[in-house]
C-alpha cells in the first residue's frame, strides 16, 4: 500500500518483549490507536535478554517475531530495548517488506526533546548499555550531547516480581543511580532504556530528584507506529472491532499477575496463551 491511498488493514500489530515489560508499549499503543488489534508475546521462559550475548538475543528475537509473523501481523514492534539494539536490522532483513519498529530511536528522540542542556543519562540493561545504541541515536539527533549510561540489571528482576515501590526497591535504585548522578550533576534527563523500568518511575524519581526529567520510549514509539501505519495506508478501518491477544512462553499465572501492573488493566490467566518457541 502506498501513502495517500484510502486502503485500510484490519490485521493485528505484533508486539514482543523478553517478558512483561513491553506491556508498557502495548498500553501506549492501545491509548494512541484504540481501533487497532494487537498481539503481544512475552518470552518469559528466556527472560532476561539483557544479560545474553548479541548473537543469542538476535536468535531469540527472530524466534519471537516469527510466531507473530505466522499469525499474519501487519507490523512488528520490538518492545524490548535490548532486542532493538541487537536485532532490529536483522529482523528488518529477515521479514522484509514487513515494517519493523523498535523502541531505541523513539526513546532517543524523546530524550533529545526533554533535555534542556544535552546532559543525558541512559539507564538500561547490560546488553543495551554495551551496544551503545542509545548514545549513537541521541548524538545523531543532538551531536553535542553528553551521554552517560548505567547498567541496572536488577531493575528487571524487581519489575518482573511486581516489586515497584517500597524500601527494598528504593535501596536498590539508590545503590545503582546515586553514584552516577553525583558524577555528573549537570544531568537533566534520564532515559528509562528498558521497557520494564517505567513501573519503577516513582522510586527512581525520589532517588534522582525533581531536577531530572524521566522519559521512556512507550508514548513516542506509539506515535511512530501511528505515523508509519498512516503513511502506508495501513490503519485499521474506523469501525474495526479491536482485539487483544496475549501470549507467553512460560508462567501463565505470573504473566497475568505481574503483567496487569504494566498494562494498567486486569489480565486473567485464561487470556494468556502459552506458546513454544
For residue 29, give the nearest of 47, 12, 10, 48 by alpha carbon. Answer: 12
In this structure, are residues 21 and 252 in contact, taking their beta carbons and an 8 Å threshold? Answer: no
In this structure, are residues 18 and 195 in contact, taking their beta carbons and an 8 Å threshold? Answer: no
Digit-coded pLDDT (tens) for 225-255: 999 999 999 999 987 789 999 999 999 999 9
Produce one character per residue of 182-216: b if its CB has 16 or more CB atoms within 10 Å, e if not. Answer: eeeeebbbbbbbbbbbbbbeebbeebbeeebbbbb
Residue 262 clears pLDDT 70, i.e. is over it:
yes
Residue 28's φ and ψ, nearest 5 degrees, are -65, -35
Fold agreement between 13-103+219-274 and 104-217: yes
Please, which pLDDT band fits residue 162 given cuts at 50, 70 and 90? Answer: confident
Fold of 104-217: Rossmann fold (3.40.50)
The SS3 call for residue 16 is strand
Tell me the CATH class for 13-103+219-274.
Answer: alpha beta
Active site residue ranges:
80, 194
Higher pLDDT, 20 or 239: 20
Residue 3 clears pLDDT 60, i.e. is over it:
no
Q: Where are the domains of the chain?
A: 13-103+219-274, 104-217
Please, which pLDDT band fits residue 161 given cuts at 50, 70 and 90? Answer: confident
Distance CA 20, CA 80 (A): 10
For residue 207, give the nearest of 171, 166, 159, 174 by alpha carbon. Answer: 174
Q: What's the grid cell of residue 121?
A: 543519562
Digit-coded pLDDT (tens) for 58-75: 999 999 999 999 999 999
pTM (2 d.p.): 0.90
* Residue spans of alpha helices (H) in 41-166: 54-69, 81-94, 104-114, 126-131, 133-141, 154-161
Higher pLDDT, 38 or 2: 38
Digit-coded pLDDT (tens) for 89-131: 999 999 999 999 999 999 999 999 999 999 999 999 999 999 9
Q: What's the grid cell of residue 212?
A: 531530572
Amino acid at each position: 500500500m502506498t501513502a495517500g491511498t484510502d486502503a485500510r488493514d484490519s490485521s493485528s500489530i505484533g508486539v514482543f518483549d523478553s517478558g512483561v515489560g513491553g506491556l508498557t508499549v502495548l498500553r501506549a499503543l492501545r491509548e494512541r490507536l484504540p481501533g487497532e488489534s494487537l498481539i503481544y508475546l512475552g518470552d518469559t521462559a528466556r527472560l532476561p535478554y539483557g544479560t545474553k550475548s548479541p548473537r543469542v538475543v538476535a536468535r531469540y528475537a527472530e524466534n519471537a517475531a516469527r510466531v507473530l509473523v505466522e499469525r499474519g501481523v501487519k507490523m512488528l514492534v520490538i518492545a524490548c530495548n535490548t532486542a532493538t539494539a541487537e536485532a532490529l536490522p536483522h529482523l528488518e532483513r529477515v521479514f522484509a517488506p514487513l515494517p519493523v519498529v523498535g523502541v531505541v530511536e523513539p526513546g532517543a528522540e524523546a530524550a533529545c526533546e526533554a533535555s534542556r542542556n544535552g546532559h543525558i543519562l541512559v539507564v538500561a540493561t547490560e546488553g543495551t548499555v554495551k551496544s551503545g545504541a542509545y548514545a549513537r541515536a541521541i548524538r545523531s539527533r543532538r551531536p553535542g550531547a553528553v551521554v552517560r549510561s548505567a547498567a541496572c540489571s536488577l531493575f528487571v528482576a524487581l519489575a518482573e516480581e511486581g516489586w515497584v515501590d517500597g524500601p527494598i526497591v528504593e535501596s536498590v535504585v539508590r545503590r545503582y543511580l546515586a553514584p552516577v548522578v553525583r558524577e555528573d550533576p549537570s544531568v537533566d534527563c534520564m532515559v528509562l532504556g528498558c521497557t520494564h523500568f517505567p513501573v519503577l518511575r516513582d522510586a527512581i524519581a525520589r532517588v534522582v530528584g525533581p531536577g531530572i526529567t524521566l522519559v521512556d520510549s512507550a508514548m513516542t514509539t506509539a506515535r511512530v507506529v501511528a505515523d508509519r501505519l498512516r503513511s502506508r495506508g495501513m490503519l485499521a478501518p474506523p469501525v474495526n472491532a479491536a482485539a487483544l491477544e496475549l501470549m507467553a512462553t512460560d508462567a501463565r499465572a505470573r504473566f497475568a499477575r505481574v503483567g496487569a501492573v504494566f498494562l494498567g488493566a486486569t489480565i486473567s490467566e485464561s487470556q494468556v496463551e502459552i506458546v513454544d518457541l
